[in-house]
Amino acid sequence: MVNAIASCSAAIARLDARICASSVRAAWVRRAAWSGYAKALQLQQVELDEIDAFSWGCGLKLPGRAQPTTHLDLYADFAPWQAALAESDPLAWRDALPLAIGEPAGAAEHPTLIRALDRVRQHARVDGSPIPWLGLPFALRDLKLASTPLPCLVGGVKAFRLKKTPQDADWLAAIRDLEAKANAGLARLDALERLYRDAQRAITAAYRPGALPALLALTQHRPLVSPQLVASDLGLSLAGASKLLERARAAELLVEITARKTWRLFLTPDLAAEFGFVAPKRGRPVKEAAPLPRDRELAAVFDAFDHEMAKIDALLARTA
């Protein structure tokens, strides 16, 4: 148990340190929120995979996936939770908790990670909605295990709600699952940062980038796209959006996950491999290309791409 607590706390600290200095923080937070909310729904015994939450967040329906239930809005709590994640007041979430939730006498003698999970356990005993599971990122922030709420660190175990006194095995399962979520979040951050660098190289290598920077910025924030969605978001014709997506596919920055001529869907390569749409690469990882040399012209290109990223972030925030 002690080793598991130490290992989990270290994984959370590594993710927190990396995300605080990452250039793709906003895009990662948006993806991590879909991942974390999917975990909360799974703890509610909802038959849902993570890719379903991603497709809902991107506003596209994946072929072959089961239709969501229509008599219940599974995502009713997502918007308030997402707003709370962006809230600058650190006490806003804690003040909204029921008065029955608090730290018992002697709580300071227990590890900080256990105290954060115990807050989730208490909340789950009095609230049968997904809200208690969604509160773990805030508990970790409040207890100084992270400097900001990390949306992918939604967790807990069903025993927190079903058992009055969870066993040691239940606590250990919750800790190990949380560590796995932190490591997965760090791996996705690595993949997203590499995609960001590959996008910069593709823009630099293009003779006439045109709307390619805007598309690549869009796929950072919204990894699942279609020609219709790109045309709507970027103000292009349907034919122009299809050609633009073909350019990104040829540069291996997108993968087509539908074998059809109409209503095509494209997904970023990292998630396409993770969700099983393409076979994962075997053997040693491909060596990344050398960094581009620094000069004024490239700096202007990179600044323009960052500006496109900020514009897409603002656009998606307005239309959420």
- Reported as a single tens digit per residue, the pLDDT across 58-104 is 999 887 777 766 667 889 999 999 999 998 888 888 888 887 787 77
Asked if residue 80 and residue 157 are part of one domain, the reply reads: yes
pLDDT of the residue at 313: 86
Beta bridge partners of residue 267, listed in sequence order? 224, 255
**Domain ends where: 185, 200, 215?**
185
Q: Cβ distance 140 to 146 under 8 Å?
A: yes
> How far is residue 63's CA from residue 264's CA, in Å, rounded to a whole number?
10
Same domain, 307 and 178: no
pLDDT digits (tens, 9 = 90+) for 253-284: 999 998 777 788 999 999 999 998 887 777 67
Question: Are residue 233 and residue 200 in the same domain, yes or no?
Answer: yes
pLDDT of residue 194: 92
In this prediction, the residues of the chain whose per-residue pLDDT falls under 70 are: 68-71, 283, 285, 290-296, 320
Per-residue confidence (pLDDT) for residue 98, from 0 to 100 = 82
Same-domain pairing of 227 and 159: no
26, 76: one domain = yes
Q: Clarify whether residues 222 and 141 are in a common domain.
A: no
Are 245 and 150 contained in the same domain? no
CA of 17: how far to CAs of 21, 146, 147, 316, in Å? 7, 9, 9, 26
In this structure, the answer to whether residues 129 and 242 fall within a common structural domain is no
Contact in structure between 125 and 160 (CB atoms under 8 Å) = yes
Please tell me the distance from the alpha carbon of residue 37 to that of residue 34, in angstroms, as a whole number.
Answer: 5
Is the full-model pTM beyond 0.75? yes
Examine the domain organization and report whether 166 and 226 are in the same domain.
Answer: no
Q: Which domain holds residue 154?
A: 2-185
pLDDT given for residue 292 in this prediction: 66
Gap between the terminal Cα atoms of the chain: 41
Q: Is 125 found in the same domain as 237? A: no
What confidence score (pLDDT) does residue 196 get? Answer: 92
Number of domains in the chain: 2
Residues 197, 148 share a domain: no
**Distance between CA 200 and CA 293 in Å, rounded?**
12
Residue 63 pLDDT:
79
Q: Same domain, yes or no, for 29 and 176?
A: yes
In CATH, what number is assigned to the domain containing residue 224?
1.10.10
Q: Given 122, 155, 185, which residue is the final one in a domain?
A: 185
Q: Which of 167, 185, 203 is the last residue of a domain?
A: 185
Q: How far apart are CA 180 and CA 11, in angstroms?
A: 9
Locate all alpha helices (DSSP H) within the chain, ordered by sequence: 2-20, 25-43, 50-58, 78-85, 92-95, 112-126, 131-134, 136-142, 159-162, 168-205, 212-221, 227-234, 238-250, 269-274, 296-319
